[in-house]
Amino acid sequence: MNLVVLQNWLDNTSFSILFLTMLVYWSGAAFPNLPYLSALGTAGMAIANLCIATLLGARWIEAGYFPLSNLYESLFFLTWGITAVHLIAENTSRSRLVGVVTAPVAMSITAFATLTLPSEMQFSEPLVPALKSNWLMMHVSVMMLSYSALMVGSLLAIAFLVVTRGQNIQLQGSSVGTGGYRSNGYRLYKANELTSQPQATVVENNAPARFANDGNSQTAVLDLVTSTPIHSPLSTIQNSEPLSPQRLSLAETLDNISYRIIGLGFPLLTIGIIAGGVWANEAWGTYWSWDPKETWALVTWLVFAVYLHARITRGWQGLRPAILAAFGFVVVWICYLGVNLLGKGLHSYGWFF
């Protein structure tokens, strides 16, 4: 079969499969009593991932170099990375909501590459001298995989904000930091010995509380945490209405998986930036030139460095890191695609205006 014909067939097939998969995930969210939709959605993402991998492999064989030399190829590689990270996140979280947010993004990227980019930007062309290097595979592929992971993690953070309705609830997350307490599924709150009033911001609906003395203070162990506000002068958060236990469980899962996926993407971004600096020194004689892409890559790194620092050392969970990750989603897109609007710099894939 002609490789060009195969590629044209695969990009359209990938778009169609992702579109149908998006509908499956949305239907599963609307009708949660149909469990087979979850398996069907997972299968759709896996098939789309395989189709895109085959497409990129065919272009690799046809052009003779790793397919990351233009915007069309990089968009499909980004989609492949998103579907791969999606499968990891879904298998880990066992939640259909992962596909509700990742499937439409993957479908939109594929549609943009297939239907919007002009045909002349979709063909492979001979590499310029600066790109004829093994660093093309090392640097660009790692950067694209980091974008994929950071996007999926940020999307899950946005889903967390939707599920919790933007309420600042306390969660038993995966990072233990300053002021964090953990006890096998229970929530622990410090109580001031003098006032005997717990400084917790969330209590449960009619759930019994146990108290244990540790010598200096009392610790209240609440068996079930919801978002009912307490009316104590020591309270810092007032929520409008309680969340159901199902929503709280889902929110905690999203918060945990988002943190883990971003924790995967950040070291990849770090390695990619370092590799890019080494390649730049070989090609242009300088490790850093404050090119627009380099500048925004640094901004992206700083945003997610703050996110991880806040979670690991400050014990941030829930609303604040989710907002920061949602902001990071926008920054990643500016770094990857937005700088192309400037039409400047050494890293631009080109635009069609």
Q: How far apart are CA 118 and CA 102, in angstroms?
A: 25
Which of the pair, 248 or 53, is modelled with greater confidence? 53
Residue 99 has pLDDT above 70, yes or no: yes
Residue 208 has pLDDT above 60, yes or no: no
Other Cβ atoms less than 10 A from the Cβ of 143: the count is: 26
What pLDDT sits at residue 106?
Answer: 95
Which of the pair, 14 or 350, is modelled with greater confidence? 14
Q: In the chain, what percentage of residues exceed pLDDT 90?
A: 31
Cα-Cα-Cα-Cα torsion 180, 185, 190, 193, nearest 10 degrees, comes to -150
Q: How far apart are CA 69 and CA 164, in angstroms?
A: 41
Structure tokens at 325: 């990750």
| Mean pLDDT value across residues 81-109 | 89
Q: How far apart are CA 170 and CA 157, in angstroms?
A: 15
What pLDDT sits at residue 169?
Answer: 66
What pLDDT sits at residue 193?
Answer: 36
Structure tokens at 257: 């998986």
| Mean pLDDT value across residues 61-90 | 88
Q: In the chain, what percentage of residues exceed pLDDT 70?
A: 72
Residue 272, CB half-sphere, CA atoms under 13 Å: how many?
A: 24
* 202 φ/ψ angles, rounded to the nearest 5 degrees: -140, 135
What pLDDT sits at residue 285?
Answer: 78
| Mean pLDDT value across residues 66-86 | 90
What pLDDT sits at residue 121?
Answer: 75
What pLDDT sits at residue 198?
Answer: 40
* Per-residue model confidence as pLDDT tens digits over 212-266: 444 443 333 333 333 334 333 333 344 456 666 777 777 888 888 999 999 999 9
**Which H or E run includes 219?**
strand 218-222
Q: How confident is the model at residue 53 (pLDDT cuts 50, 70, 90)?
A: very high
Contact 222, 207 (CB under 8 A): yes
**Average model confidence (pLDDT) for the chain?**
75
Residue 191 has pLDDT above 50, yes or no: no
Compute the 3-state secondary structure of the chain and give helix, strand, coil in percent, each to the nearest 5: 60, 5, 30
Q: How confident is the model at residue 348 (pLDDT cuts 50, 70, 90)?
A: low
Q: How far apart are CA 305 and CA 316, in angstroms?
A: 13
* 325 φ/ψ angles, rounded to the nearest 5 degrees: -70, -40
Q: In what order do the strands lie in the sheet with 187-191?
A: 187-191, 218-222, 209-213
**Where are the chain's structural domains?**
3-168+245-342, 175-242
Predicted structure pTM score: 0.76
| Mean pLDDT value across residues 76-97 | 88
Residue 129 has pLDDT above 90, yes or no: no
Contact 72, 34 (CB under 8 A): no
